[in-house]
Structure 1
Amino acid sequence: MTDDRALFLTSDDVRGLATPAEYVDAVREGYRERGEGAPARPRTRLTGGDPPGMLTGYSAILPETGAMGGYMYTGGFGSGDAHFVLPLFDAETGAPLAVFDGASLNPFKTGATGAVGLDALAREDATELAVIGSGSQARGQLRAAVTVREFDAVRVYSPTREHREAFAAAMDDELDPTVRAVDSSSAAVAGADAVVTATTAAEPVFDGADLADGAHVTCMGQYHPEKREVDAETVARATYVPDLRERVERDAGAFLLAREEGAVDDDHVHAELGEVVAGVEPGRTDPDEVTLFDSGGTAIETVAAAHMLYERAVDAGLGREIEFLPASRAFEE
């Protein structure tokens, strides 16, 4: 693209451009860069309107990837839905590269983030996975998770029987491990080597006492200071790794509520995911250690995944060119 032109990429343009494993590779590289100092800021969220809604955005620069940008999305405001816009810029020149409709890539880049956390912290010999949730984000998590560990069995639970059974049947047909629905979160979690939560629940979705020694937990479904998917016991037992330290005080409800209950203190934050991926801080050091990756979403995975898709779209001749007027020309008479 020239300095004043960029690509507009629709969800249909980028759908199918990369496999879950390729998303994982791109996102892992993004977190490695973050662990070595790449700038990233957690989300900011504005609320208002009648009916009420939420406007959210976050940003990151990945110098080695050569891209920067973020995500902005809305939810509520009477639409009953959410809309995602993803701007991508050249990290050297500042020129716009692309604007994405960010909807279709969302579960893939989010799933890849969960898998990077699982890969960095779970035991190498993990064979049993529990998934709590049965929506699109749970599908994204599972598709990515099976690319980083050779799971033999996956147990899935969500409150609605029809949803969990349909999810299990579809994923069992698609993936190598046996995927089956179970009737409780306890049945899913007990004995699991890894647990992934991808829900909209505001309260813990399993009992921390059910976690086996040596289990890893990836939490993906909440980013609100008063909501959590895991209880204080889980947080206290675990080596706690968030996506960004700065996010913890803003909206990591699992940590904040565990601290409020006296189960942990500020020093319980072990390291950011990027620090573990980059080898700056250790991850798991003992096979019986419980580990927890708490992800509320960052622009690290967003920029990393978007740049990969942008390069593939250029090679494939996808998208539509749009023109941006540089600020230096905006005031010309």
Structure 2
Amino acid sequence: MLLLSEDQTRDALPFPDLIDALAEMFRTGCEMPTRHHHDMEVPGEPDGTMLLMPAWLPGGFAGVKVVNVMPGNSKRDLPAVAAQYLLSDARTGAMLALVDGGELTARRTAAASALAARYLARSDARHLLVVGTGRLAANLVAAHMAVRPIEEVTIWGRSLEKAEALARDLRVRFPVAIQAAASLEDALGNADIVSAATLSTEPLICGKAVKPGTHVDLVGAFKPTMRESDDDLIRRARIFVDTREGCLSEGGDIVQPLNSGVISKADVKADLFELCRKEHPGRQSGEEITLFKSVGAALEDLAGAILAYRNAER
């Protein structure tokens, strides 16, 4: 059985290939039972979450990811997400690979955002704003650069010091202009793509600050109690999701405005299945604001794990 470290998993999942692999899996589909979602009490800290995410291609590959999401790790300078992915042969049951789940999760999450941006961001989008300074931030920059001609990146975080440190690190890795922002409102008004990856329970992305034509990508807030966007943005934007089942039950950016009557289920225009199968055209004008909400799906992990296994085997 292959054991893929964090570095080996990263090397086996280049973003252009990973985005294409996700597109193909959303187009063709796989078996994907409802994931297990369990809150875990952590005394003196916010609750952690354990996720069990199975998926399989009949007669092909099967896999399951075990994920622990621990918000309190931010105070320990540790990643909030710890995970492993076990890939097996769906015909024989043989265990094929244990893939670093944290790197797989970070890269497939960013790749799903970039896949959505293929359909929803303007083709000339050049200025990317990343909201959040965690592990996903650098991956979101790399993934969006794989699908749009990004020339400028702005980083905003609750800690300006952390945002500036991340900007310095990213300047070494990417050949574009990169800076930290002290004002989120000002940064929102200048961005073509806004990609937020936080564990916020209060809205950060205000609709009044977002200019026409912007694509907003909401990656964090994976629980109904969490939220990154306000009602004004939800009202102004055309809404898309990774999966309807997941976002209508788990993503607070969709669940909360649904429960309050701000939107209805009909306001969710399409998911990635429909976009990848060309059942919806995606962005339809240069002036509309598009919003993509993701909570993650087991088929994304399966697609990424298969790609990592095949690349590592080669």
Structure 1 contact 41–246 (Cα < 8 Å) conserved: no
The whole-number CA distance in structure 2 between the counterparts of 1:177 and 1:63 is: 43
| Deviation string, structure 1 residues 44-76 (Cα, Å, up to 9, x no partner) | 211245646432112333569x43323112245
Structure 1 contact 232–261 (Cα < 8 Å) conserved: no
Q: Which amino acid is 1:19 matched to?
A: P
Q: 1:149 is matched with which residue?
A: 148
Query: What displacement does 1:285 show?
Result: 1.4
The whole-number CA distance in structure 2 between the counterparts of 1:15 and 1:58 is: 20
Structure 1 contact 62–300 (Cα < 8 Å) conserved: no
Q: Which amino acid is 1:189 matched to?
A: L
Q: 1:328 is matched with which residue?
A: none
Would the alpha carbon gap of residues 170 and 101 (structure 1) be closer, same or farther in structure 2, given more than 3 Å must change? closer
Q: 1:72 is matched with which residue?
A: 66
Q: Which amino acid is 1:104 matched to?
A: E
The whole-number CA distance in structure 2 between the counterparts of 1:20 and 1:183 is: 30
| Structure 2 alignment gaps of length 5 or more | none
Structure 1 contact 30–62 (Cα < 8 Å) conserved: no
| Deviation string, structure 1 residues 256-303 (Cα, Å, up to 9, x no partner) | 111233321121111111210221222111221211110111112211
The whole-number CA distance in structure 2 between the counterparts of 1:50 and 1:175 is: 38
Q: 2:302 is matched with which residue?
A: 303
**TM-score (normalised: structure 1):** 0.84
Q: Which amino acid is 2:62 matched to?
A: M
Q: Which amino acid is 2:56 matched to?
A: I
Q: 1:55 is matched with which residue?
A: 50
The whole-number CA distance in structure 2 between the counterparts of 1:77 and 1:236 is: 29
Higher RCO structure, 1 or 2 (CA under 8 Å, sep 6+):
1
Q: Which amino acid is 1:253 matched to?
A: G
Secondary structure (helix, strand or coil) at the match of 2:103 reads coil
Structure 1 contact 62–304 (Cα < 8 Å) conserved: no
What's the % identity of the aligned pairs?
31
Q: Which amino acid is 2:20 matched to?
A: D
Secondary structure (helix, strand or coil) at the match of 2:229 reads coil
The alignment status of 1:23 with 2:18, answered yes or no, reads: yes
Structure 2 contact 205–233 (Cα < 8 Å) conserved: no
Q: 2:35 is matched with which residue?
A: 43
Alignment of 1:248-267 (within 5 A): 248-267=247-266
Alignment of 1:200-279 (within 5 A): 200-279=199-278
The whole-number CA distance in structure 2 between the counterparts of 1:256 and 1:82 is: 23
| Deviation string, structure 1 residues 117-158 (Cα, Å, up to 9, x no partner) | 111211111112111111211111111111100012122211
Would the alpha carbon gap of residues 13 and 180 (structure 1) be closer, same or farther in structure 2, given more than 3 Å must change? closer
Secondary structure (helix, strand or coil) at the match of 2:28 reads helix
| Deviation string, structure 1 residues 60-108 (Cα, Å, up to 9, x no partner) | 33569x4332311224599976531212233455543222231233322
Would the alpha carbon gap of residues 265 and 50 (structure 1) be closer, same or farther in structure 2, given more than 3 Å must change? closer
**TM-score (normalised: structure 2):** 0.88
The whole-number CA distance in structure 1 between the counterparts of 2:71 and 2:206 is: 35
Q: 1:320 is matched with which residue?
A: none
| Deviation string, structure 1 residues 142-180 (Cα, Å, up to 9, x no partner) | 111111000121222112111111111222232132111
The whole-number CA distance in structure 2 between the counterparts of 1:296 and 1:242 is: 8
The whole-number CA distance in structure 2 between the counterparts of 1:77 and 1:219 is: 18
Q: Which amino acid is 1:238 matched to?
A: A
The whole-number CA distance in structure 1 between the counterparts of 2:71 and 2:252 is: 24
Q: Which amino acid is 2:19 matched to?
A: V
Q: Which amino acid is 2:38 matched to?
A: L
Q: 1:88 is matched with which residue?
A: 87
| Deviation string, structure 1 residues 233-274 (Cα, Å, up to 9, x no partner) | 212222211111111232111111112333211211111112
Q: Pairwise CA RMSD of aligned residues? A: 2.4
Count the aligned residue pairs: 306
Query: What displacement does 1:17 show?
Result: 2.6
Q: Could you tell which deviates more after superposition, 178-187 or 39-48?
A: 39-48
- Larger helix fraction of residues: 2
Structure 2 contact 125–149 (Cα < 8 Å) conserved: yes
